[in-house]
Structure 1
Amino acid sequence: MRPQKIDDTRLIEGLMSVLQSKGFEGASLNDLAKATGLQKASLYHRFPGGKNEIAIMVLGFVNTWIKDHIYQVLTETGVAPIIKLQRAIQHIRQLYQNGEKSCILNALSLDSGLVVLGNEISKAMQLWIDAFTALGVEQGFTLAQARTKAKQSLIQVQGSLVLSKGLGDPGYFHKALGDVKSLFVNG
């Protein structure tokens, strides 16, 4: 029997969805295979390193996503800061499906002992902080003020995802996105 074909986008979305909902330790290879539409043997063939390799690939995707949809948007020249902020917030809203999805960084940081995951999670968070810091500096805040606001934006979004998921109310996520906007617009 010939292995099933699956495009990379659908593969990553399926894998990320399972890791977001079940975490690294809770996700079984059966869950991961089912979410992608692949047979377990095909998943092994594509990822001989198993769940470790899958998690690393998903975090690589997340880092690239943050670079493309947050960092590049917030550091783009020739665009008004408020427009950049609105675009970045819209991308965040889409990534987390309006607060319905858990934070992948949180899900993978909770229970995995893999050092490489910690490094990739740290890179993703630092990229976020750097992007929002650049926006804050452009808005006239000192570097220290901008960095504080950037860290607060990460705390608000990620924390709101935990609350939204735990309490079954995406309103926390929507409020947090408004609060992030206020951090940089209203001062």
Structure 2
Amino acid sequence: MRPQKIDDARLIEGLMSVLQSKGFEGASLNDLAQASGLQKASLYHRFPGGKNEIAIMVLRFVYEWIKDNLYLVLTEKGVAPATKLQRAVQHIRQLYHNGDKSCILNALSLDSGLVVLGDEIGKAMQLWIDAFTALGVEQGFTAAQAKAKARQSLILVQGSLVLARGLGDPSHFHKALTDLKLLFVNE
């Protein structure tokens, strides 16, 4: 029997969903196979490094997502800062399904014993900070102020996802996105 063909976007979405909800340690290969639409043997074939390789691939996807949907949006030339911020917030809202999904960076930052995950998480977080720092500087904040606001943006969004998940109330996420927009208003 031929291995099942699975679209890469569907594969990543399924794998990321399991890692978001169960974390690295809690996700079993059976869970990952089921969510990906692959048989366990096909999952092993595609990811011979097992869960480690899957987690790294998901984190690299997240990095690329941040680059495409935050960094490139927030550093685009010739677009008003308010428009850029609105687009970035909309992308964040979509990624986290309006606050119903957990923070993948948080889920994978729990102790997995893999240093490489920490490196990949750090790269993704730094790119987020760089993107929002660029927006803050464009808005007229000093580099130090912009970087502080960029860090706060990450704390707002990721922290609100933890709160929304823990309390079962996505309104915390919605409020954080409103606060994020206000964070970059320079009066």
Residue of structure 2 in register with 1:8 after alignment: 8
One-letter amino acid of the counterpart of residue 147, structure 2? R
Maintained 8 Å contact 1:23/1:111: no
Residue of structure 2 in register with 1:83 after alignment: 83
Q: Deviations over 1:84-140 (max 9, x none)?
A: 000000000000000000000000001211111000000000000000000000000
Residue of structure 2 in register with 1:157 after alignment: 157
Aligned-residue CA RMSD (Å): 0.7
Structure 2: distance between partners of 1:42 and 1:91: 32
Deviation at 1:37, TM superposition (A): 1.1
After superposing on structure 2, the runs of 4+ consecutive aligned residues of structure 1 that deviate more than 2 Å are none
Structure 1: distance between partners of 2:127 and 2:151: 11
TM-score (norm 1): 0.99
One-letter amino acid of the counterpart of residue 34, structure 2? K
Runs (5+) with no aligned partner, structure 2: none
Residue of structure 2 in register with 1:51 after alignment: 51
TM-score (norm 2): 0.99
Q: Partner of 1:111: helix, strand, or coil? A: coil
Maintained 8 Å contact 2:136/2:150: yes
Structure 2: distance between partners of 1:14 and 1:139: 38
Structure 2: distance between partners of 1:23 and 1:186: 38
Identity of aligned residues (%): 84
Structure 2: distance between partners of 1:167 and 1:114: 29
One-letter amino acid of the counterpart of residue 85, structure 2? L
Deviation at 1:186, TM superposition (A): 4.9
Corresponding residue pairs, total: 187
Structure 1: distance between partners of 2:110 and 2:175: 25
Structure 1: distance between partners of 2:43 and 2:110: 24
Structure 2: distance between partners of 1:2 and 1:25: 31
98-107 or 1-10, larger mean C-alpha shift: 1-10
Maintained 8 Å contact 1:71/1:130: yes
Q: Partner of 1:185: helix, strand, or coil? A: coil
Matched, 1:179 2:175: no
Runs (5+) with no aligned partner, structure 1: none
Residue of structure 2 in register with 1:132 after alignment: 132
Structure 2: distance between partners of 1:73 and 1:185: 17
Maintained 8 Å contact 2:66/2:127: yes
Matched, 1:33 2:72: no
Maintained 8 Å contact 1:15/1:32: yes
Q: Deviations over 1:19-75 (max 9, x none)?
A: 000000000000000001110000000000000000000000000000000000000
Maintained 8 Å contact 2:140/2:186: no
